[in-house]
Chain A
């Protein structure tokens, strides 16, 4: 991650000049005192201040044209949940994961203490998280899709990992029919309506869950997104719901063990 990538310039340049688009600035992030945030050039690292965390870390790809700092507050809730978790929010070129969607695969180099990783992504970030797993299937134990689905060129149907797909009830940008129409590209679908319905035996399976009262932008904290629906529950309630769901997903897959 920290090496010099001059050649990246030539990979980016064909795209870069057509990307004069504005990204969403984060809203003020309210952080609990027991979380430590390290802001590096390539990613943001969230760590429980106690420095005790589960053996499984979470790599996160932000949504398209959303500043990565907008996810610090929601993901810090997960970082502090259960045994504690190391969370790494990857910074994408121009806030577009599609420009360099495999950065998550190089996280290993910087965090040798974390035994295994789950990759997550919001919206476009979720699309590219699937692509990363498609290219590096052995690097990750699971995928968490937040209002996202794989693109048609990414077929993870026979991938031997666990997938959790979350979507807000009032998401105005990604509807459930679209998500359902791409379920053939992921492991066996399993639709649930309550977090407690997650089956014990996760692999290989895709658990679909709709967060009641949520919308597309609930996964970050960057205000209202154009074209999105209106959330009918408070941000704190929605974040708690999402955090609980992800934590259950970790527990039932056996990823929730503290490092010795």
Chain B
């Protein structure tokens, strides 16, 4: 029942977000290659994730970001909420380059209790508008740091990664 309500709420929010002007909704898949963990330098692939983001526009160049994501980083599964802003840096014809910064808060999925995860990221994003409406395809690359303090007693609890992703916006 709870999941049905959550799904209905999500659909409602999504529908409202899509109908209102000066806002956009996008979905992206990301890969998390990284350079070091727990202070050790070792380039590797750490996992992947799915992100759903909502961007209400503040000015022509500035947008807020509210996102939800599910990531798998090695053995750990996380759900994070991101809040931040993105700023348009360059626009030409159908292309737009922007830089976004987000704070991340969420949980690592463990039982008997989840563990808190926090972090921050900065992401360059290149949008390409397709068709006559506001549909865009985009690619992103950035830098990201996440930490799960509760996992420190078990093992690798912090990652520095270089997220790479592709997505579609509406």
* B-binding residues in A (CB < 8 A): 2-6, 8-9, 12-13, 16-17, 19-26, 39-42, 44, 67-69, 91-95, 223
Contacts and interface: CB of A to CB of B under 8 A. Distances in A.
A4 B111 contact: no
B143 to A, nearest CB: 16
Contacts of B109: 20-23
25 contacts: A2-B44, A4-B33, A6-B33, A8-B48, A9-B45, A16-B72, A17-B50, A19-B72, A19-B77, A21-B77, A21-B109, A22-B109, A23-B77, A23-B111, A25-B111, A39-B156, A41-B37, A41-B42, A41-B156, A69-B155, A93-B47, A94-B75, A94-B76, A94-B77, A223-B112
A9 B31 contact: yes
Contacts of B70: 16-17, 20
B154 A69 contact: yes
The 9 closest A-B pairs by CB, nearest first: A9-B31, A5-B45, A22-B111, A91-B75, A39-B155, A9-B48, A22-B109, A69-B154, A25-B110
Contacts of A67: 75, 110, 154
Contact of A4 (B43, B110, B112, B115): B43
Nearest to A9: B31
B74 A93 contact: yes
Interface of B: 29, 31, 33, 37, 42-50, 70, 72, 74-77, 79, 109-115, 154-156, 164
A16 B79 contact: no
A94 B49 CA distance: 11
A8 B75 contact: no
A64 to B, nearest CB: 12
B77 A2 contact: no
Contacts of B154: 25-26, 67, 69
A16 B46 CA distance: 13
A44 to B, nearest CB: 7
B44 A4 contact: yes
A68 B48 contact: no
B145 to A, nearest CB: 15
A155 to B, nearest CB: 29
A180 to B, nearest CB: 32
A212 B155 CA distance: 33
Contacts of A94: 72, 75-77
Given A4-B45, A41-B37, A93 B75 contact: yes
A6 B141 CA distance: 14
B71 to A, nearest CB: 8
Given A12-B47, A40-B156, 10 more contacts: A4-B43, A6-B33, A9-B31, A20-B70, A25-B111, A25-B115, A39-B156, A67-B154, A68-B75, A93-B74
B33 A13 contact: no
Nearest to A91: B75
Contacts of A12: 47-48, 72
B29 A13 contact: yes
Contacts of A24: 110-111
Contacts of B49: 16
Contacts of A9: 29, 31, 45, 48
